[in-house]
Structures are given as structure tokens and as C-alpha cells.
Structure 1
Amino acid sequence: MQTEFYSILRNRICLFVEERLMMDVGQDAIGMIIEKLFEAVGEEIAKAVMFKALLEQLESTLGSVTPIVKEIQKLNRELDRPADETEKFIKKLEQGEQLVRKCSTVRFNCFKRIYYAHKLQNLDASIVRFFQVDMAAQRARNTIETLVKVNQIYDNVMGLEVKAFKISGACSVPDPPAITVGLDVPVEELKMNLLEKGMKVIVVSGPAGSGKSTLVKKLCKDDKVKGKFKNNIFFVTVSKRPNVKVIVQKICRHKDCNVPVLLTDEDAFNELGRLLNQIQPEPILLVLDDVWSGSESIVQNLKFQLPDYKILVTSRFVFPQFGLGHNLKPLNEEAAMALFYHSAILPDQSSDILDQNLVCQILRACKGSPLALTVVGRSLCGQPEEVWQMRVKEWTEGATIFHSNTDLIFPLLSSLDALDNNIKECYMDLGSFPEDHRIPVTALIDMWMELYKLVEDRYAIVNLNDLSNRNLVNLVITRNTASHNGCYNDHFVIQHDLLRELIIYQSMSEPIERRKRLFIEISGNSFPEWWLEQKLHQVNARLLSISTDETFSSNWYDIKAPSVEVLVLNIQTKEYTLPNFMEIMDKMKVLIVTNNGFFLAELNNIQILGSLSNLKRIRLERVSLPSFDTTTLQMKNLQTISLVLCNVFEAFRNPTFDFSDAFPNLKEMNIDYCNDLVEFPNGICDIGSLNKLCITNCHKLSQLPQGIRNLLSLQVLRLASCVELKALPDTIGNLSNLDFLDISECLSIPELPIQMGELCSLKTLSMRGCSSCELPASITNLKKLEVVRCDEKTAYNWEKFQAHLTNLKVEVLKEDANLNWLDN
């Protein structure tokens, strides 16, 4: 019975002490008295013969409890807890120590044995009560005290947060950086629009890191702007995932209004409308910083019809639906140098110590980007000149600026990550073309139609417009033709140099053999090492771009690239030989050769194209073509050929060359700015599959062959700006499927042939600049003619026919030539 009693006592002490350790902290005094009790039990075991077994059990119990109590003592000292609430329990333990020592005096007295057993039971009850009742009550009380103190701390923290929030201003305009070079002119232009009367939305757009937010911060700190809008300038960062309710609550807090509980975005818009109405008639400026595509509806819902209320938006995207916009350009050399020096030069240093040639090379690498200039400058600040030289050397040897400045990657990469995957793939392909050069849209159409299986070329135009609206490219249209009918000769893309660097950096993140697109730049005749070690690599890219400079000798090394579908060759030499390794590119569908040199390049080894059985599209620019030979140049699957600024006389002069046999499935031929084209080859008229023929800006072309009658599948015929073209052939009336004809700026055509009236499928006729061209009476037979696009003088000639052509609409186009792209 006594053994069971002490077993229970031991278990209960261990249980409650462990619980106390987890839930609360006991008292140091308890630990001290338990140690004394433990010592007493150890000393009395040998003496108290009658209670030896019981005391051994108690010793075991105290041995288990003592380490836990010592841990409690340690925690107590750390917490500095008082011990005044356990005095009674301490006295019980002290009495227990005396009880244990008296047990050794009991011999054979039965009454004393019962008496001391009863005392031990009372000791058990006291210990159990202390842990079950007293300690539990203390634990509950301490828990409540803790909650009260936590709430007090929370209230204090929230109070400090609110004070800090009010001090800084929920929607206050942040201070611009210490140096804001290159922004004075944009600030003045923007200020002029901002201070004009009337409600409007103004969008400041530009690529990541171009300084949009800095510009707006600087503008809002301008004295005239502050003088007009005073305390009613609200600066709100919208970001990629905007929370309209939080935005409105910040504005309310900024005006010291009660912050409302908003359940929906509609509630938020309504609440803001009420607040702004209360502020009126005072002028109001709402700045929405970093608005992403997809958030246009938020801006629309914030366009309250209030007098003198303006919304200023900064975005990486262009929002044409809001009208007036400002697009930030890269910094000029002077501003770029000032910003770079500010980041790269220590306060006690002078810029005179720097090698100016070295600085200029760094500035060229930064492409006028404020972000790049700042990041690169900081990374070089305090570094010895050797480090600067090494960086520049790395960039000139093929490494991009991102290799040594990874801080640049993430701000710019977010613009790419926001793209739909298909559009992103298209954008990454732009790295195929050299920097600082305009990219013909027709070249991109050729690539994308085959790589991404686009059904129509207009889908490529949609992608380009999306990229342009996101400020990732500049889409330039050099001539307003109003309707293109699949002809985009006047459309070009200019890519931002720094973003091109990012494309190349991203493409280099994978091993050579795993890249989907491979961009290679060869300086002189120095091929990449991996190319010379082709036994170690097989190129599996679908897109291969090879750029060579003016010293390249066309001495090619073999390359194993069986998966290439699009090959882009950027050349600069006066003579260029197509590489023999093309012969094993069985999957090649598109070949684009662009000469970026000053002189036309003589293109050699053209017969190799006959071995490419899957080749569908060829685009050649600024090259001289050799004579075509039917025996070697057989391209049965070729569907599109584009010759731009080429010498074609030699290629077309061979009278034995059979175009219909060499290109039996050709559907589209584009000849643009080919100034040595005097006579159009009659043999091309034998290609029965041809449905689109564009001969534009060929100023020496004087006539078309009568054989044009054979192009029975022809649907589109463009002859724009062929200023020496004397007449349309009489046989043109045989083109029963022709639905689009463009003779704009064909200044030498005195009249249209009578057979024009036989074009039974003609729907669109473009003839701007043809006011001296007489129209035959047979025009009235063009019952399907819907649109005539022309200048004002030419439109006058059509007035007498409109009564007979009830479906006809005459559109007067204004001349809108854009020559800005010539600077690129």
C-alpha cells in the first residue's frame, strides 16, 4: 500500500512539474526545498529501516523531479519572477523534510508507524493540491495578465504605426532621387499638358528603368504644380495586382477622413467619388504609379466628371484609349554621363581621373537607360581601373551587361514575365537581328508564320501591337496606307537595345545544345570555341541567327544543326557565300539574309537553296543575285519570296530559266526598291499558283508583260510608287480573281485601260497621287468595287461614277510619311 502511495506521489510530482514547465514558471524557493528534501531522503534511507522501501521510492521520485525544478529555477532568474505566492507550500516541504528525518527514529512502535504513514499521506495531499489547484489558478491568472499586456503592446505599436502613417502621408508624393538628369525637358512638356484646362488622363510610358516614376515625382514637386493642386495631390502605387479598396482607404486616410469599410470595388469607387466631390472646386491631381496592362478599367472608373481633376498615369505599357501620352526616351550622352558619374564616382574623387574612352564604352553598353547607368555605376564605384577595363573587355567579347550586373535583370525581367507565353516567344526572337537597326515587319511575319503556325499574317501584327503597347518595341509605320491587305513593306520594328541584351542573356542561360534559339556573333573569322568543338555539341535550336562583320571571309566551319527551321544571316561584307552546312538543315522553312553593310553584297553559293526541300520562305535584302539556273535551283515547296533593295537583273535575265518549274507552288512574290528592275520577267507570269504580287518602289520599271493574263489565281496586285510605269497591260482584265489593286504614286500612267471594267472581283482600288490618270467609262462595270483610296484631287475624278456604283466609298487619305525611322 505504501509502495503504491509513493509511486502515485512520484508520478504526480513529475506530471505537474513538467506541465508547469510548459505552461508557467515555478519559484526558486520550491527548487531549493525539494533539493533539501531529496538530500534528507538520501540520508535517512539507511537509518529508517521500517520505511526503507518507501524512502527509496521517494528518493527515486525526487531524483526525477530535481532536474526539472532546476530548469524552472533558471527560467525564473531570466524572467526575474518573485516567489512570494508559494510560502505556504514551501513550509509544507520543510515539514516534509523534518517528517522524513523523524521516520528513522521509528522502530517497532505500531502506533508511530501508523502516525507517520498518515503524515506522509497529508504531505502527498499538500503537494497534489499545490500543483492541481494553486498552480493552476496562478497559471490562469498569469495567462490573463499576459493577454492584457499583449493587447497593451499591440495598441502601443498600432498607435506608433498610425502616427508614422500620418506623418509620412498615406498618399504623399515621394521625394525624387538626388540627381534627375535629362528630365528637365520632359517635365516642362508634361507640366504644360497638366496645367491645361479640362479633365484628361495623361500617360507617361516607357520601359522598366527608364525613369517614369522619377519624372512624375519631380513634376509633383514643381512649384507651379504644387501651387495649383496644393494638398490635393494623391500619389498611389498601383502595381501588378492592385487592391482598389486599399487605394481608396489610403486616400481617405491622407485627407484625415474616417476610413470606411469597403466590401467591393464598386463601394470603393463610389466612396472616392464622394470624397473628391467634397474637395471640389479645388484642383485635384491623382497620380497612379506603375499601372500594368489589365488595369485600364481601374483608370476608367476613376475618371470622375469633375472640373480641374487630372489623372497622371505611369506605366510600362502604352494605353492609347486614354489619348494624350508621353513616351520616355533613353538619356542622351550628356545626361547619361552625368548620371553615371553620380553613381560611379566617390564624393572625394574627380571624374578627371577616369579614362574617357573607357567611360564612353560603358555608356554605350548602358544604352541610355537610367537604371543601367545607376546599377553599373554603383557596381564600379571605388573599384580600380583594371576592374572597369575587365568589364568592358567582357562586354566586347560577347558577354552582356547582365553578366556582371545581375541587379539589372529583375526589374526588366518582370516586363517579360508579364507576357503571354506565345507573345513572349515571339519577342525573344527579336534577338536574331542586330542592335540599332530597324527590323522589317515582313521578316518577322515570315519567321512567326512558320515557327508558331499562325493562320494569317495579321496575327503577327496583333502580337507586334501588343509588344508596342507594352513599350517593349517601337512599331514604326513609314507611310499611312490605311489598308494593307497583307502588305506591310512600310512597317518596321525598333527594339530597345537594353531589352535586346536581356533577350540574349536569357537565351544564354541554357547549354548550347538545349537552346531553342541560338544567337551567334562572329567578329572577323573568330568562331566560338564550342563551334570549333562540334564533336561535343549538336545544336538543337529551331531558330539560328548568325551575324558577321565587314571582315568576315565566308570561310565556314561545319555545324550540326538538324533542327533549324529559321536561319537568319546578318551580313556586312561586299561578297558573301552561303554556308554549305545549310544543305543538311532538312527542316529549314525560312531563310532571311539581311545585308547591313554600305554596299550591296554579291551572294554566292545560292544553288544550295535547291537542296532545302522544306524551304517555304526566302527574304533577301541588299544583295546582288547571280543568274538563276533551272538545273540547280529547284524549290518545289517555296511559297514566298521577298527581294528588298536587291540587284535582280542578273537573276532574271536568263531566258532559259523556267520560273514555273523552279517555283511551282509559289504564292507570293514581293519586289521592293529593286532599282535595276526594268522589265518584269514574263516567265513569272507562268506561275499559276501566284495569288499575291507586290512590285513597289521599283522606279525604273516601265512596263508589265502581257503575260500577266496567265495569273488567274492572283488576288492582290501592288504596283505602288513605280513612277516610270507607263501603263497597265490590256490583258489585266483577265485577272478574274483580283480583289485588290494598288497603283498609288504611279505618276506616269496617263489612263487606265478599258479592260479595267472586266475585273469582276475587284473590291479595293488604291490610287493616291494619280490625279492625272483618266478613268475609262468601263469603270461603271465594277459592281463589286467597295473602296477607292486616293488623294483629294483623284477623288474628284470619281464623283461622276459614284451614282453608278452604289456600294462605292471614296476614302481621301492624307499624306503621312514618317521619316523619323531614318535616324535608326
Structure 2
Amino acid sequence: MLDTEIQDVATKAEGQIGSKLRLLYLAANANSNAKGGDECLVEEACQQLYQTMQQVLKDIKAVEVRILMLKPNLLSSSTNDFQGDNIMVGVYSPSPSDLIPEDTPIIGLDPEAWEVVKMLIYKGSPLKREVIAMCGLGGIGKTTLAKMVYEHREVRHYFHIRAWTVVSREHNVKEMLIHLLDCILPVTTEISNKDEVELAEQLRKSLVGKRYLIVLDDMWTVKAWDVIQLCFPNNFNGSRILITTRLREVCTYLSEQIFDVRSLSTEECWQIIKRKAFGNRGYTSVSYESYGRSFSRQCKGIPLAAVLIAGLLATTNNSLEIWGNISETLHRKKVINYKDVGLEAITSVCYDFLPNHLKACFLYFGIFPEDSSIPFTKLINLLVAEGFLKPERNRSLEEVAKSYLYDLINRNLVQINKRSVDGKIKRCIIHDKVHEMCLREAKKKNIMSLLNEKHALEVCRWISCQSSYWPITQASFENHTFDGIRSILYFGRYFYLSRCRLVYPFLKLLRVLDLSLLKYSHGMPSGIADLIHLRYLALSTIGSVYKFRFSKLQNLQTLIVSSWMGGCYLQLPSNILDLLQLRHLHLEKRYSQCFPSLIQENLQTLYWLKVASSDQNKNFKMFPQLKELGIYIEGELVHGCLESFVHLHLLEKLKVEIRWVERFYLPTSFPPNLKQLTLRYTYVPWKEIHIVSKLPNLETLKLKDFAFCGSKWEQTEMRFKILKVLLISCLDFTHWNASANHFPILEKLVLKYCWELKQVPIDFANIKTLKSIVLESCYSSLVNSAHDIERRKWTNRRAFFVVNDLGTKVELPNNDCSEENSVEFPNNEGTEGGSVQLPEKKVLKSLSEEGKF
């Protein structure tokens, strides 16, 4: 096929040019004493590059001739790719407000959810710990239904603890335990480094005495249950375990209470399609309904099929011609397969009708393990590094990548898995049925190799390592010289590696190397400095990396280096910021970095920049494109050291954390476009918060771990004019005097571990925009004040209040602060109930210093 021929020519040209550019770079930087020798090497490399370019031009010309010969046929072609690029993309142009739809429940699942809620709370034994199994076909909505139940108001109030983990086909017990613990308490590095036995015991202790709900999603085998069930104590209080599975034998083995998730009716499928395709507009022709009901019948009652076909139809701008093309394509697949069209055919059609520029982006999801919750920002940076984005005028590559992902989300091919406190996408996921299709299409195109205990290594563009050993060795490739590998991403969690080398010929054009989940113990793997085409490098290590020559990686765009062992801090070269192609730099807080010698025109993200007491004024003019910045301050600063903040005109997100500073002074001027500010350990007096309130574009404010100090937050004339989200965690103020006028458009208030605060200002009931107050681990007086606000707003139902209790329920004996109080905390080792005798303020401080919050 012509498209395959074009792809082959492009891939070959990319490899040949990359190889010759590598030779040219190495020659230009050769460490030879003879200057003339260096010039000869450079001249020879230039000549080879020139010859390669000439050959590439000839190959391209040959393809052009083929295209011209076939042009009449192409013009009359009705292939899906051609339609996708010339009809669908041109018609479908979503506005920014349409890009990220709010999560909406599947039609028809509300009664089902209530039935499961009744099984959890009302129908079972009030004492016995019981297992309830939800059974159904893949894509029938088991996980969606379980999430609705998990977040149901009565479920949240009835169970003290709720925890969720995905078991998946290839289950990992340690990962399951960590995910469950992460729902109960903050998981630190110390916890994640424990073995399975220690984690299981910690989970069991956290559940002792609590009424809990555990969700084990997507269970494929009873082996996972047999291993983990001892972590779930029978507290004789009505605890429940909810399991979802598509296998009847798993259900009957685990439970006598089985809930069969029903298929949707054809009418319900049509309602899903109609709502997504037309919204509130409705349709003007009976042809739409004719096609729509035909699609609904072909969904076979599977909600995922209806959601996917609805997402596809929503991109057509209601073009009947394209609806007809989709119908014809589904019919052809039915004829070819000699069976009824179902979920597999519909997922295939959704891929066929993707515009070409989205196909590579979509298939890239196959590189992640099944059921992976993928960090959204990481995915964007990977797509930029891979190089298959179309540059657009006046938009950064990150913005282009984000628009591609938004498009896939709107098509329902990608799901939002987790949002940040301000509503932005934090993690995304794809359904395992869609993941199967990604793997199938990627294998068909020979662009991805999945490597684990069941799959041998194949040379492809993307290598997804999901094994429990390090597979990239010379022997594993049998001295193969193929240079087509561009990316290696390692997903073998909790694997320790002492040494490895990466200098093999087949890796010389590597662009992406993600070893963030591999625990390396000798600084940097040998040979990385020679991978000069690297654009993305992520590594978790211990040992010295001070002598590593980052300067050779001149194409590096994203660099992430962290220590996987708590208290083992790395020492990095101080000139990393001299890499001029860097766009995103993530280092641990204690690394010291020199400011670059030249202006960094590309750097957009910098975490963390350490500022020490010995530093003089920092010249932030060196980062004109910076959008996100984390500042870590250690030791007393020269007054005015951070005043050049104001020159970061594009900065939108700023985090400031302090250690070993007696007195921190807020800068008098912040970046003018700052939208999100996080302060931690800054101990600023409340009287200075007026500096923050003056920020003209501030939408999200996070005050963590004694960011402000003093017993009273007294707000007078200051107003946070456009603040939408306010998070307060682990502050020790007791009184908050504020009104609705101080936060005129606040939408969300989050209070965590505010053990001294007695109530939320009652006038917040008059904030018309307020949608939710989230209370986590607070005393009942604070919770009750939030419910008072709820009752005042009940008539118009403008706010939704969530109380997420982590076990801190002990009340102060009186209104005065007692020196000694019994504070209940769910994870105090060595105690069954978690009760300790400590001064309350000292408890807060010690927990926050250990990184518990």
C-alpha cells in the first residue's frame, strides 16, 4: 500500500540522517590533541551527511512519482484515512470549553448503583465481613458502576475507610498493596520500599477496628485473592469487599452474593449516542435516528461500544455523509468477519476514522501496561519527545500534544482517571478492550514490542519492558545492527539493578529512555552520555552522578532524576541548566544548580531550584519561557533575593518550600500572570497574606504545613477577586474571620488536618459560585459548620460537601488547647488502634516533617 511505502521511506530517511548527524556531532566533540585530525573527522562526517541527504531526496522523488501516478485514484478514494483528514478534521473543531467534558454517568446505571449500595449497607450482615462480586462482559460497565457506588453519598458516610485497587490480568501483589494503602494514608518512600509482607501487615493494621470498603477491580484469577485476603480483618462491623470480574468462576469462588451487570437496551444505547452527538440541540432529520438506532443495535447492549461510537459521531459535526460512511464500514466488517458487529469491530472503526495525526498518538497508549493510570503531564512530554506532533503557529508543542489528547478524550477513546484539586486532568487511562486494539494495531504496523515473561524481544520503534529482569543486552539482540529503536520504557516495578550499559549499536538513535521505575544503584548506566539523540531521560538512582557529562546530551528536552532511597541525596553536576534544548527539568529539592550562562529560551518547567543562604540575587530573566517553577529555600536569604521573580512574565504555577529558615519574607512582587501558588513551611504571619491577595490572576492557592502562622486569620479589606480553589492543609490557626466578599467566586474549599480550626466562616453560604467543601481528617465542630453551610444552601443545591475521614475523631476536652491529648491516627506502627499521647501541635509538626501530608 502507498501509505506503507511512504512510512517506510520516512523511517529509513530518519534513521540514515540521524546516524550521520551522530557521527558529525561525535567528530566535532572528539577529544583529540591533534586539531587537524579533528577537522578531518568533521569534514568526512559532513561529506557522509551530504551524500545521505542526496539519497534521501532521490527516495522522496521516487515516492512523489508514485503519488502523481495514483493521484486520480486518490482523489476519488473513499478510504477512511482520506476521509478522516479531509472531511472529519476539517469539520470538527471543538472550542476550548468543549475539550474536557465533565464526567457523566452512563444512562441506565443509576438504579443498578442503588441496588449494589443496598447490598453493601442494608442487605448484608451488620457484623460479618462479606464479599460481593459484580460480574459482566468486558465493556459492560462494571468499573463505571463500581465507581458510582464507591462515590455514593451513603457509602462515603457509612464506611470509615474506602480503598480501591486494580488487580488486572497480570496482577502485582506489592503494587496492589501500595495502591490500597495510598487510599488510606500518604505513601512515603519508606513505605514503598517495604516488601510485600511488611506492606500487608501495615494494611491490616490500618483496617483493624474500622468499617471499611475495599474494591478489587478487574480480577482475573483467584490467586490474587488468596494472597491478599488475609490483609482484610473481620472487625465484626459490616466491612465489605467489592470485586468486579468478567469470569463467573471467580465470582462463585469468592462470593455467594453475585450482582450481574445487565446489558443496555437498544433504546438506552441510542440515548447515549444521541446525548453525545447532539447535546441539547436535537437532530433535524429522521435519517439521523435511522442511522443512530442501527448503531445502537450493533452495540449489542455494551455501554463501552455505545460510548465509543457516540464519541466518533460527535466529531462529524452531524454530517450525514460521514454517518453513512461509518455505517458502511461497520457493515463491511460484519461481512468480512461473518458475525454480528460488536465491541471489537466498533473499536476498530473508531481507530480507522481517526485523523492520521492522531493515530500515532493513540497507538502510543499501547506502550503502557494494561490498566495503567498514566500521568497526564508525563504523557504530554513523551509525545513531544517522540516527534510525531504537527507544529502549529503560535502554539507550543506541549499545547499541541494536549490538544491531541483532548481530542482522544472527547472521542471517548481515552478516559480521565484522576483530576487535581483545581479540576485539571492529573491522570488518564484507556479501557483494556481499547488497549487490546492499540496492541493489535501497533503490532500490525511493527512499531511496538511488548517484552515480558510471555513475549520475546523484537526490534521495533517502541520497546515496552514489563519484565522482572533487565532485558536490554547485546546477547538479547544477537549482535543485531538494526538501528530502528527510538524508545525504551521500563515498567517492571520494584526491580533493583546494580549495573547496566547502554552503548549498543541498535540504541544509537534512542530518543526516549524512561527508567524511572527501575531502582538503579550506581549513578548513571554506562553509555547514556553517548546516546546523543536522547530527548527524554528519566532515572531513579543512588550513587554519585556528579561526574556525568550531561553536556553531551545536547538534544535533551526532558530530564527527570530522583533518588529511590529516602535520605540518600544525589549530587548532580551544577551546570545542567546549560542544556539549551531543555524544556522540562525535574530534580530533587536538595540539588544545587547554577543559573545558566546563556538565556534558556526553551525551559518551561523547573522543579526544584534550590536557593541557599550563600546565593546572591537570582536573575530569573534567564528563564523567559518558564511556566512552572518550584523553589526550595535552605538557610537564611539575603533580603530581596527573589525580587527578580517579577520578570517571569509567563509563569503560571509557583511552589515555594522552606527549610532551616528562621524568617521568610514574601516577595513584594510576584510574576504578573501567576495562576497557582503553593506555600509550604514558610511560617509567614497572617498579616502578610494581603500580598498574596493582590495577585491579579491567582485562581488556585494552596497553603500547606504551616505556610502561615498565627492563631487568627483576620481578613479585612483584602479580596481574592478571582480565586476559585483554596486548599489549607496542616495549619494551626483557630479562628477564621472571613466573609463571602473576600472570596467572591470561590468554587472549592479543601481543609485537611486543620485540628485547631473550629468552623468554616458561616457567610461562605452566600458565595454563589461555591460548589464543594472537602474536609479531610478534621474535628466534628469543623465538619458540623460545613453542614450548616450545606443546610443554608439546600434550597438551590449549589454546593456538594464531602467529609473524608481518615480516623482523627478525638475531640478536645474543652475550648482551650490542652497540652496532652489522645490523637487517633490510622497508621501508628506498634499500636492496633493508632492512639498516641502527644501534644497536638507537636503531632501535626512531626507528621508534616516526615512527609506524611
TM-score by structure 2 length? 0.41
Q: Considering fraction of residues, name the structure with more helix.
A: 1
| Bigger Rg over Cα | 1
Q: Considering fraction of residues, name the structure with more strand.
A: 2
TM-score by structure 1 length? 0.42
